[in-house]
Structure 1
Amino acid sequence: MMTEASARKFSEEWQQSWNDHDIDSIMSHYAEDIVLVSPIAEKLLGYPKVEGAEAVREYFMKGLRAYPDLHFAVVDILCGNQSIVLLYVNQDGVQCGEFMEFDARGKIRRMYAHYSR
């Protein structure tokens, strides 16, 4: 089980990476075999599922270009067994929730994104 303290530390680092638009720092949180599913991926790429660190990196870079004012504010973290649900608000005030499952090294290996609109 991920502890509240480790989840909070992770979320702070994750949020800072995104708010800095630092792609290398962002990618440091994701496993090489990451599988990501997101409605935003479907919007930007034409398909919702992105597999592998290189493809995810390209998707994130496309997202950072599409949303130059991108900013996240974490509002809550739900802890589970080797997983968390990260609840945050983006730059447009949209409520977001990401289910993140971690590998043995503490890297995100599965991520499913959800949005209020």
Structure 2
Amino acid sequence: MDKTRALAIAHEWVEAFNRHDLEAILSHYAESVELTSLLATRVLGDPAGTVRGKPALRAYFAKALAASPNLKFELLDVFTGVNSVAVYFRNSIRGLQIEIMELDADGRITRVLVHHRDP
């Protein structure tokens, strides 16, 4: 993935979260998406901490956005890989965070590994 495309994906993703626009957020994800996060272990009560599928991700994000009406992300950096992007940002509630996103051929996120500095 080239840096220009990676930056565009990251900026669009951050802006969607900052607007709390659930449909815009979800437009970045494939139907078969898997998201794994320490926060999801608490929210789901599942030690695997994995949200599977777009409908489950919709419910997870809707709950998170409702619980955090002042949530904002500040994009700090973007790293590129082979069919992947790592987005480094400041979460206004949880602090520094990195999300490693694998993408399909259409540029939709298929897998996310969320890393928190202070979980």
Distance 2:31 2:63 in 1: 19
Within 5 Å, give how 1:15-34 maps onto structure 2: 15-34=14-33
Could you tell me whether the CA contact under 8 Å between 2:94 and 2:116 is conserved in 1? no
Q: Deviations over 1:56-91 (max 9, x none)?
A: 010000110121111101100110000011000011
Tell me what 1:88 maps to. 89
Distance 2:87 2:52 in 1: 20
TM-score (norm 2): 0.94
> Which runs of structure 1 show a deviation greater than 3 angstroms over 4 or more consecutive aligned residues?
none
Distance 1:93 1:60 in 2: 15
Q: Percent identity?
A: 37
Change (3 A) 1:63 1:93: closer
- Unaligned regions of 5+ residues in structure 2, if any? none
Distance 1:35 1:93 in 2: 21
Distance 1:68 1:92 in 2: 10
Tell me what 1:56 maps to. 57
SS of corresponding position for 1:104: coil
Could you tell me whether the CA contact under 8 Å between 2:28 and 2:109 is conserved in 1? yes
Could you tell me whether the CA contact under 8 Å between 2:79 and 2:87 is conserved in 1? yes
TM-score (norm 1): 0.96
Aligned residues: 116
Pair 1:77 & 2:78 matched: yes
1:62 maps to amino acid: K
SS of corresponding position for 2:105: coil
RMSD: 0.9
Q: Deviations over 1:74-112 (max 9, x none)?
A: 100110000011000011361100010001110000000
- Unaligned regions of 5+ residues in structure 1, if any? none
Change (3 A) 1:87 1:5: same
SS of corresponding position for 1:16: helix
